[in-house]
Structure 1
Amino acid sequence: MTAADDGAGAGAGREPLDADRVKHLEFIQATIARLGTNSFLVKGWALTLAAGFLALSASQRSWAVAGAGIVPLLCFWFLDGHFLRQERLYRRLYDAARRPGSTVEVLSMDVRPFRPQMPLRRAVLSDTLALFHGALLAADLVFMAVWS
């Protein structure tokens, strides 16, 4: 029995990827993982900073302190959206590079061809980011309203 005879498994009938293509996919996957980690860290900083501003606002009963927390919160939201967009772009590059007969240049990390498909606004206003950062923004606005 040859390997071709037991070709019922996954990938049967497909030509194997060469070593350079596999290394390319590993590079792209490592970039996607780093972007996911960066997004996680940004969320942690945003939550910590928002909690700090809200605690300080409550202790001083100051709407100005609560309002000051809005600017960094919006910056973190934008930065998180940027990381999400980049992650999605690299996922599209990965998907294009993994296909047999791909026209993606081997070892290229250029995601510019995919940018029109993923505008920054769409990533920033994604459901997950809007729920997370929007909740922090809403809490900040409530504190501003209570102390004004």
Structure 2
Amino acid sequence: MFWLDSFNNVSGGVKKVTNEKKLKHLEFILGIINRQAQNSFMLKSWTVTIVAALFAFANRSDEMDSHFLWIAIIPVFFFWLLDGYFLRQERLFRHLYNHVRTFEENQIDFSMRTDHLNVSESKWIKVCLSNTLLYFYGPLFIVIIVAMVWLG
């Protein structure tokens, strides 16, 4: 069946080029991007859960106990930093994805290294202070601090 093999390899008189390695590499990178986004979502949900629980424990009697609110600042701060790390990793892998998609098939080495990418916008502290995280964790800090001041 020579004509069938020729038909499968030729499309409009031009040989079909397969990018199986490239597609698989991009698929691996997308998996990591999705995992980082999922981690970020889970951190946000845990942050809200912990802060709500600490507010509930603080309101255990007729008056609120501000000690629990002081404790609430600790997980919010550390989850903010950890969320910044995950968002930074997600951005680095997005840049890696854009970098790899320009490769030819023979250049694909399945490397997941992001340290060779010169991405100035993905500095960790800059990502922690980005609007994405600032608009979520900032109001939590403000609510906790206002509650502590209000309780005196």
Give the TM-score normalised by structure 1: 0.83
Cα deviation, residue 54, structure 1: 1.8
Which segments of 5 or more consecutive residues in structure 1 lack a partner in the other structure?
6-14
Is 48-57 or 130-139 further displaced after alignment?
A: 48-57
Alignment-mate amino acid for residue 88 of structure 1: R
Match of 1:83 among 83, 86, 94: 86
CA distance in 1, matches of 2:107, 2:137: 35
Partners of 1:57 and 1:66 within 8 A in 2? yes
Structure 1 pair 64/104, CA: closer, same or farther in 2 (3 Å)?
Answer: farther
CA distance in 2, matches of 1:140, 1:23: 46
Provide the secondary structure at the position in 1 that maps to 2:110.
Answer: coil
Q: Provide the identity percentage.
A: 33
Aligned pairs for 1:1-148 (under 5 A) are 3-4=11-12, 16=17, 18-59=19-60, 60-101=63-104, 105-114=108-117, 116-117=119-120, 118-148=122-152
CA distance in 2, matches of 1:32, 1:102: 22
**RMSD, aligned α-carbons:** 2.3
- Aligned length in residues: 138
In our comparison, the structure showing a higher alpha carbon Rg is: 2
Cα deviation, residue 84, structure 1: 0.3
Cα deviation, residue 85, structure 1: 0.3
Is 136-145 or 112-121 further displaced after alignment?
A: 112-121
Give the TM-score normalised by structure 2: 0.81
